[in-house]
Amino acid sequence: MAFGLVAVFAFKVDAAPSFLVDDESEALLYHIVRPIFKVAGVAYDKNKIHIINDMSLNAFVADGNNLFVHTGTLINAKNVNELSGILAHETGHIAGGHILRQKLKIADMQTLSAISLIAAGSAAVASGQADAAIAVALGTQGSLINSLMAYQLSEERAADESAVKYLKALHQSPVGLRDFMKTIQKNNRLSGYEQTPYFRTHPMSVERQAFFEKSAKENKGSINSPYDQDFAFVQAKLTAFLLPENQVLRKYPDAQKTEEAKYAHAIVALRQKNFKEAEDLLDELIEASPNRPYFYQLKAEVLFESGKIEAAEKNYQKTLQLKPDGDEIMLSYAACALENPNRKQNLGHIISVLNKAQISRETPIGWQLLSKAYYEKGQKADSLYASAKYSYIIGNIEAAKLQIKEAQKLNPSESLRVKLSDLEYQIKN
């Protein structure tokens, strides 16, 4: 999760909602979402599965098959089966083309709304009274809103039916989906309609409740998952990093000796800068589960924060051996390795890792780190290109133009010249 080392992923507990990048959480979502997408006939792209740092219970989809999950949902879901049900429902919206159809419906409503205003004006002219115009306008607007709500409920029912079908195909029970909807309803009654984001975008009806109950009775799929332990670790991690420490320790008291409790305590120790305690707890976890990459990753962060750069780099290398495709891990490793006094002999490998990370998921911090690595290796034109990419991504267009010009003066290789020309073209267009 790179909560301190790679600043682009860091955030404050009280910060506004933002995207959160964490390989461990994303790996869990991959194992849950990909099979659902497969049975639904939806193409899977890991860069379209997003985690939002927001403690409310919510999940939603947007244009381009993008799926968003709030950290509040990950922390508060009871188990993988419940999370699977939520994500199967959202997949139903994607497979059903509901986003596009909703946009078309709203466009139609906007047209009808304009017509209603014209009708209201005509009524006022005919009667000579403004009250007539108001009555026509309000009456039409109310019917439009009712029409949209009815349409939204029909889409929710369709997504429910699709979710149950997907879960059945995967031999999973819809009990988790039913239970999550019950939790949403309970929270809505306690906090009020306007306070519950999921309820606003997923209106509930008596008919939908009955459908969940009926499906839970008829579908005898499993409520267990091979990823239940992974889910427990993700919940412990997110809880420990995102919630106030007193809340973390209430959820994972000292008396609790489970591995996920140790994980949470190690993170709290890191937050409190009790590096020795964090190290000791992580050593225990690594001894019990030596093939879990995320324990080495967290230990690397602890070592880095305590100033043990070489030891941190070794733990990042071990993490990459176990999880070679981790985007966040690759960036954290490179950031750490570039702080090592002996980095000169390792620059080629660092550059290779960073380029792999940028191909997998392009990030501003990746280009920053590449610029530094290329510069230290003496590849000034490549360094300037990486800086130009960084400037372009963050919106500093003038800086990007200057960096491209400077790179072009340094007699770049043919392949780099093409990249510079492509970037220049992007900026012009």
DSSP per-residue string spanning 248-298:
HHHHS-TT--SHHHHHHHHHHHHHTT-HHHHHHHHHHHHHH-TT-HHHHHH
pLDDT digits (tens, 9 = 90+) for 307-328: 999 999 999 999 999 999 999 9
Token duo for residue 348: 């080629």
- For residue 130, pLDDT beyond 80: no
Domains of the chain: which residue ranges? 7-98+149-218
User: What is the average per-residue pLDDT within 374-399?
Assistant: 97
Token duo for residue 71: 């950290």
> What was the pLDDT predicted at 206?
72
Radius of gyration from C-alpha coordinates of the chain: 26
> What was the pLDDT predicted at 4?
36
Share of the chain above pLDDT 90, in %: 67
pLDDT digits (tens, 9 = 90+) for 326-371: 999 999 999 999 999 999 999 999 999 999 999 999 999 999 999 9
CATH number of 7-98+149-218: 3.30.2010.10
Q: What is the DSSP letter of 64?
A: G
Please check whether residue 267 is in contact with residue 241, taking contact to mean a CB–CB distance below 8 angstroms. yes
Q: How far apart are the first and last CA of the chain?
A: 35
Q: Report the helix count and the strand count for the chain, using DSSP H and E.
A: 20, 4
Alpha carbons 325 and 27: distance in angstroms, whole number: 10
User: What is the average per-residue pLDDT within 156-165?
Assistant: 91
User: What is the average per-residue pLDDT within 42-48?
Assistant: 93
Alpha carbons 416 and 402: distance in angstroms, whole number: 16
Tell me which H or E stretch contains 69: strand 66-70
Share of the chain above pLDDT 70, in %: 79
pLDDT band at 381 (very low <50, low <70, confident <90, very high): very high
Please check whether residue 367 is in contact with residue 359, taking contact to mean a CB–CB distance below 8 angstroms. no
Distances from the Cα of 382 to the Cα of 225, 346, 386, angstroms: 47, 17, 6
Give me the chain's average pLDDT, please.
84
Residue among 242, 245, 203 nearest 56 (CA): 242
- For residue 181, pLDDT beyond 70: yes
Match 């008396």 to its residue by tokens.
255
pLDDT band at 190 (very low <50, low <70, confident <90, very high): low
User: What is the average per-residue pLDDT within 269-282?
Assistant: 97
- For residue 142, pLDDT beyond 50: no
> What was the pLDDT predicted at 203?
60
DSSP characters over 219-253: ---BS--TTHHHHHHHHHHHHHHHS-HHHHHHHS-
Residue among 238, 263, 283 nearest 71 (CA): 238
Alpha carbons 315 and 298: distance in angstroms, whole number: 9
pLDDT band at 65 (very low <50, low <70, confident <90, very high): confident
Token duo for residue 1: 């999760």
